[in-house]
A and B are shown apart, each in its own frame.
Chain A
Amino acid sequence: MALLEVRDLKVHFPIKGGILNRTVGHIKAVDGVNFSIEQGKTYGLVGESGSGKSTTGKAIIGLEQITEGQVIFNGEDITSIKNKTKDIRKDIQMIFQDPYSSLNPRKRVLDIIAEPLRNYEKLTKNEEKQRVYELLELVGLTPESIWKFPHQFSGGQRQRIGVARAIALKPKLIIADEPVSALDVSVQAQVLNFMQDIQKELGLTYLFISHDLGVVKHMCDEIAIMYRGRYVEQGTKDDIFENPQHIYTKRLIAAIPDVNPRNRDKHYVFRQEVKKEYEQAYDEYFDAEGLAFGLKDISDTHRVALPERG
């Protein structure tokens, strides 16, 4: 059974307008998303900014109201915020995008990492400190860090503190909302590899939200491409990278830069071809509002939003 199952998830934000401030329309941030994640796997959610990938993550953990659909975690329905009982909250944690604003600037590292422990576990001061030391060691920070404030750390170190806080309760699922996009490229790899290490060590499941295809390729087992609140293509890593079916996916993958400078011209020609195909076939692949169609099975793992033909 899947650890997390999301069925037809919709998150709509009302647009208020007019004299009486009535709802005049909806922004469909997430519009009918289905997926499931197996225990121990990493599921990547990719899309341009504004495609609704972060909103999906936030809706699952309960930071956004779900308009419609179902979220099932470990066999329990946690769609409404009310159903997110303390025990379930404990099992789902989040790593935030911005390591600068996600740590309270007025708190010491001890207080930051101990916050979830204080909420869920009755520990004595010494046990608590002990646990924080262990977590700091796990994320590779020195024990002295415990008395420091967030601003005394670099971005990468701060993100490690964020990770330490997220794994403090030994959760089952971690929603990583662009965990490295605010970091230096040299630090990105460091944090990503470290995330993979603790995944093996603690048996974590990741919902990995990113706009960086390179990072996603490195991290994920399964990948979904989102565009304007809908899925465009979903499949295993190989399905997406070796056999992209949708023109949007094709164009995204063509945009990944090639490290070999000798191929520069060839790559440029290829990109131009994909661009041409995208522009020509745009009307075919997207409906009148510019949204993707419903998903169709191509193979057991691969689903693509292909146009209805015939």
Chain B
Amino acid sequence: MANWQWFHRLGSPKWLHGTINRWLPWVLVSALVLLSIGVVWGLAFTPPDYKQGNSFRIIYIHVPTAVVALAGYYAMAIAGAVSIIWRMKVADMALRAIAPVGAAITLLGLFTGAVWGKPTWGAYWVWEDARLTSMLVLFFLYLGIMALHDAFQNRQGGSRAAAIIALVGTVNIPIIYKSVDWWSSLHQSASIKFTEESTIAAEMMYPLMVTIPGVYLLFAAAVMLQMRVQIAHSERHSRWLEKYAINRA
């Protein structure tokens, strides 16, 4: 059982709380550094697109949010699986922590997508864009989980319910994405072709390599903050937290 020690430690809210406190500043700072580098690089030092001009530059935010929105859901589902299989309190807390952060990132992705859509296709919302439609569905999936958390007075029940629906969502998301893809290709009007994408020049892509990890880290930092709230709530009667609070004060 020796090599499982880390796993057991992970199950201890006290250990996790200390670890989060130690890591949070580093994660937050590196997220901000990466994002600033990526944004400045993307806005000032990349050539404009020959067709879209400068409006394409929003991809440096839009694409990372879209990536992280989906990854966040999977992270949540993994937490759900851990909570169901090993009944770890900490996994329940992670599930609760990720849901609102994931929803916020998804909303940001939808917003930037719409802003990008206006100059590109002349409308804020174009249904033919399968990716935005799928993202909207993803947003609803997040909202469903948050609603489920809120509906239960019994926290343990709420966590378990959310874990189950997150796992069901995991199975469903690829099917949803594929079906929406197929649906939009079926109904696509001839004037706009979304299928032939990624004709972006390589040098336009480089800042993305910085902003994507940047948004990942920002997401991680937000989840850690949420996690700390969750731990404080669930351990509010324990002595170690009391000592910690007294030391802080």
Q: Does chain A bind chain B? A: no
Query: Which residues of B are at the interface with A, using a C-beta cutoff of 8 A?
Result: none
